[in-house]
Structure 1
Amino acid sequence: MTPIAAFATDAFELNPTTITASQSEHAVADAPASVAVISAEEIQAKGATNLLEALRGLPGITLSGRQVGGRKNISIRGMEDRHTLVLIDGRRISSTDDVIGHSDYQYGWVSLDQVERIELVRGPMSALYGSEAMGGVVNIITRKAEPEWHGMGSLRGDSGAGDGHVLSAMASGPIGGGFSLALNAEDLRRGATPLEEDHRISEIEGQSRQTGGLSLGYQLAEGHDLSLDLLRSDEERWRHELRGTSVYRDQYDLDRSQESLGYSGQWSDVHSELRYTRSKFDVTNRRSNGVSPTRPQALQDDILDGSLAFALGERHFFTVGGEYREEQLENAGLIGGSDEAYHEAVYLQDEVSLAEDWALTLGARLDRHELFGSETSPRAYLVWRATSDLTFKAGYGEAFRAPTLKQISPNYVGAEGPHTFYGNPDIQPETSRSYELGVDWRRDDSAYTATLFHNDVEDLIDYRLLRQVGPRRFYIYDNISKATIDGFEASAWQSLGYGFALSASFLYLDPRNGDTDDKLNGRPEVSMTPTLEWSGGPWAFQVSAQYTGEQYLSGNDGQEKAPDYTLMNVTGSYQVNDNLKLRAGLLNATDVRLEDKSPLFGYSEAERSAYLAVDMSF
């Protein structure tokens, strides 16, 4: 029998390891970046059911609205969601934000019960990962097969914010002949939440998602492994909308898939990785009562990437790698219905041991895009371990984000809605230059971090008005603006004794339009999440407050300030025995409704809800 506790690390590790910051293993305190790691048990204690809920409350994270069905996106240090690269075990997923308008579809690829931990790197990481890593990187690390067979199942029921359930199961172990197998599946459903003022239409859309995964491993020889990873997620989103006096059902069908074949080898002192990945995302829309649906779209990325890591002498550890990616978009707005582009990249990183307590990481990546040309992204990061408890960090990095195929294609014409949008072959990538200075202090019963950061962003991609004919406006995608974002982030964890611990994250942002010096919309000035935890014997409880400060949003009179708000969550668990655990929670306990606070908010928070879950293992 394998106890449930074996499926997760301690609820809070004071100095966990990370691989995303440099593609080599470091303790978080010594990593050449600002990193947060959230374990499977921390995710479970939050009551999270998707990636956005799992990341919420971490240092540097805020939320922005997507105007449709209560959808929200994450923002790292005030950068937009499109500037965050999401990985699954280091594999890039098809980026949907900014390709498919008003979407949050990038958060539903993986069942959270499949996740071992999530690594969040804050700050530009294009020197290693290329496009989309301007704001940071989210790497979802999934569970791997164990030497002995084990499994886990979970059943959760929700009541309040759209009744629903989550049913998941996983199993893994050896199957002989050097092979190992891991399987997982999840079924999730949430009902739509009707608008309080008019129950005919939806305030928050409903959701039904089925996710499954298979990982097959084979050991060729000691230190040499092959892996085949298959991932599938089918999802429906639905809501009821009003057009004139007629109510219609608006449903989106989302199909996600990823297949990957990889090799990992240890050749004496050289570690090698080689991998091919195909990632696909399809979306179709259906609407009732004769309302025309939006056009179907399909994204596909075919990626071949590899790397070598090796020491050179006693002071240098090199990582050298490359990537080839073919990107394809199917959309009726493109002439011929589709377009494609290829990306090529090479990168080099040197982790230099300057002295016993000093380390310098230098890196650069050269990306070549078929349509816009080349972009170089350098990075330098210095780490000084002043004492066994105290570490200072300083870094500089440049990053970029390539235009989407819609934005850069001269063939694209989007005319579904009330306006028309044209692609622009002269558009340039968005770029950033970022600086940060941080301190990290950890002891056996406490951990504190603080970081100052400054980010200059140029050539932001937006759209420019060309002309107006009657009510229809015609726009072209273009580079039209720049921005500066200054900020301060901090985190703390302190044991209080008697089973109690207090933790908190804090973020201050000063985001400004570089041309006008006006504040940027959708970025709260202050955000923080204090949490009180208690554990004793089989019991564990957590009370958290998620505070979102005042922010500027677009209103009828232009830029207006929206009020602050706080969400309270209470969760707890009881470990019945090694193989049975009960969990319960009350989310948005004070039943905060953003529509009552201000009509400016472009998203909704789910109303008060309760859940009860049973976890079993063998």
Structure 2
Amino acid sequence: MYRDITQKLNDYFTLKGGVAKAYKAPNMYQNAEGYLLSTNGNGCPANIESRCLLQGNGDLKPETSVNKELGIQFQKDIVNASLTWFRNDYKDKIVAGTHVVGTVDGSSTNANTGAVTNTKWNILRWENTPKALIQGFEGSLGLDFGDIRWTNNFTYMMDSKDKQTGNPLSLVPIYTINSIFDYDITDQLDVNFVFTQYGRQKSRQFAENRLESGIGSGGANSALKPSTVKSYSTAGINVGYKFSDQISTRVGVSNLFDKQILRDSNSISQTYNEPGRAYYASLKYSF
């Protein structure tokens, strides 16, 4: 469901707003009471020993969200600019439960020795977490001189968190600024310069399962390592050539100055990866 309103204030300014409601239904293994999903111990809450199974929950509610935005747009001659506030409130997000609802007898076989070990499996259920929030501002500024165009946009995150755990919902910078300078040298040849500035980024701060607490199968090496990356920037350049109305090509370099932020060697860590300079090329045929 979506409702929006657009009100022209004068020749240059336009006020825009909207409210949307969406939902996401549980999938089959989350909803089926008879389905048990193995987590192999890694998905168990930090205070639960041994392995865990996740049982389907027929009482799960769909994830719902209410998305709101309010903004203003300015357009005159070569200038096009906008500023928008957005807020997304999530309710009943589906997550793995943290309370044991039962146990079953099980066994595991050592792949190297063949030895069989009897054990008990803890049964958890899929649950709905109460609330989560994403909120911030986004804006844009564009200047169009014909053969030369300068396009800018930014996003500033005020909130992005699970209200129950306090962890961020996703690994995103506090702000992102993109700037693109386009120049049509001829009717066939053009060049683009791209610049991106990323704000500070924080990983998840609180362990949510045994693996992240350092007591799962990976031991201390697999423990969550909260970290922060300071703001940094990348730049790129690409050139395009149009052979005809049907055939065109483009070559370029991303991360021109080879800024690298490498992911921690621990593959499950909630960290960052900026791999460095890369080259690319494309050939397009339209018909």
Which of 539, 542, 553 is the equivalent residue of 2:189? 539
Q: Write the distance in 1 (CA, Å) between the matches of 2:230 and 2:120.
A: 33
Unaligned 5+ segments in structure 1 are 1-126, 128-378
* Corresponding residue number in structure 2 for 1:221: none
The answer to whether structure 1 residue 482 and structure 2 residue 131 are counterparts is yes
Match for residue 462 of structure 1 among 95, 105, 108: 95
Shift of the 615–454 alpha-carbon distance from structure 1 to 2, 3 Å rule, reads closer
1:548 to 198, 212, 229: 198
CA displacement, residues 504-526 of structure 1 (integer Å, 9 cap, x when unaligned): 11111122333476654523211
Q: Classify the secondary structure of the residue corresponding to 2:228.
A: strand
Determine if contact 2:237/2:254 at 8 Å carries over to the other structure. yes
Deviation digits for residues 264-319 of structure 1 (CA, Å, limit 9, x no counterpart): xxxxxxxxxxxxxxxxxxxxxxxxxxxxxxxxxxxxxxxxxxxxxxxxxxxxxxxx
5 Å-filtered alignment, 1:291-302, equals: none
- Cα separation, partners in 2 of 1:513 and 1:414, compared to 1, 3 Å: closer
Match of residue 423 from structure 1: 56
SS in 2 for 1:554: coil
Deviation by residue 1:8-59 (Cα, 9 ceiling, x = unmatched): xxxxxxxxxxxxxxxxxxxxxxxxxxxxxxxxxxxxxxxxxxxxxxxxxxxx
Structure 2 CA distance for aligned equivalents of residues 408 and 452 of structure 1: 35
Residue 395 of structure 1 corresponds to which residue in structure 2? 18
Q: CA deviation at 1:382?
A: 1.4
The residue number in structure 1 matching 2:156 is 508
SS in 1 for 2:34: coil
Over the residues paired in the alignment, what is the CA RMSD in angstroms?
3.1
Letter in 2 for 1:507: T
The amino acid of 2:153's aligned partner reads S
Counterpart for residue 561 of structure 1: 228
Q: CA deviation at 1:472?
A: 6.3
Q: Which has the larger radius of gyration?
A: 2
Give how far 1:560 is off: 3.8
List gaps (5 residues or longer) in structure 2: 42-51, 105-118, 206-222
Residue 279 (structure 2) pairs with residue 610 (structure 1): yes
Secondary structure of 2:23's partner?
strand
Equivalenced residue count is: 240
Please give the per-residue CA displacement for 1:463-508, whole angstroms capped at 9, x wherever unaligned: 113449979664321012312222101122112x483221111111
Q: What residue is the counterpart of 2:241 in the other structure?
A: 574
Structure 1 residue 603: Cα displacement: 6.0
CA 1:397–1:615: 2 relative to 1, 3 Å: closer
Q: Which amino acid in 2 is paired with 1:413? A: L
| Mapping for residues 116-265 of structure 1, pairs under 5 Å | 127=1
Distance 1:382 1:612, change over 3 A: closer
The answer to whether structure 1 residue 386 and structure 2 residue 35 are counterparts is: no
C-alpha contact (below 8 Å) 1:562/1:598 kept by paired residues: no
Cα pair distance change 1:425/1:530, threshold 3 Å: same
Question: Are the equivalent residues in 2 in contact too, given 1:447–1:494 (CA < 8 A)?
Answer: yes
Task: Tell me which of 62, 66, 74 is aligned to 1:433.
Answer: 66
Counterpart residue number, 1:413? 36
Aligned to 2:86: 453
Which secondary structure does the structure 2 equivalent of 1:574 belong to?
strand
- Asked whether the equivalents of residues 262 and 275 of structure 2 are also in contact (C-alpha less than 8 Å), the reply is no
Deviation at 1:579, TM superposition (A): 4.8
Question: For residues 433 and 582 of structure 1, what CA distance do their matches in structure 2 show?
Answer: 42
Q: Which moved more, 1:605-614 or 1:555-564?
A: 555-564
Contact 1:520 1:552 in 2 (8 A): no
Letter in 2 for 1:609: A
Post-superposition offset of 1:532: 1.4
Superposition pairs of residues 41-80 of structure 1, within 5 angstroms: none
- Deviation of residue 428 (structure 1)? 0.8
Give me the whole-angstrom Cα distance separating, in 1, the residues matched to 2:122 and 2:232. 36
1:527 lines up with 2:176 in the alignment: yes
Question: Is the alpha carbon distance of 1:383 and 1:464 closer, same or farther for their aligned partners in structure 2, counting shifts above 3 Å?
Answer: same
The residue type equivalent to 1:491 in the other structure is S
Classify the secondary structure of the residue corresponding to 1:465.
Answer: coil
Change (3 A) 1:501 1:609: same
Give percent identity, aligned residues only.
23
Report the structure, 1 or 2, having the larger strand content: 1
For residues 228 and 99 of structure 2, the distance between their equivalents in structure 1, rounded to whole angstroms, comes to 30
Aligned residues of 1:562 and 1:601 also touching (Cα < 8 A):
no
The Cα shift of 1:381 comes to 1.7
The whole-number CA distance in structure 2 between the counterparts of 1:448 and 1:598 is: 42
Distance, in Å, in 1 between the alignment partners of 2:54 and 2:252 is 45
Which contiguous aligned blocks of 4+ residues in structure 1 show a shift greater than 6 angstroms? 468-472, 596-599
One-letter amino acid matched to 2:130: S
* Counterpart-to-counterpart distance in 1, 2:97 and 2:275: 35
- Conserved? CA contact 1:595–1:601, under 8 Å: no
Do the aligned partners of 1:465 and 1:474 also contact (CA within 8 Å) in 2? no
Give how far 1:454 is off.
2.1
- 1:499 maps to 2:168: no
| Pair 583,444 (structure 1): closer, same or farther in 2 beyond 3 Å | same
TM-score normalised by the chain length of structure 2: 0.71
What is the aligned partner in structure 1 of residue 255 from structure 2? 588
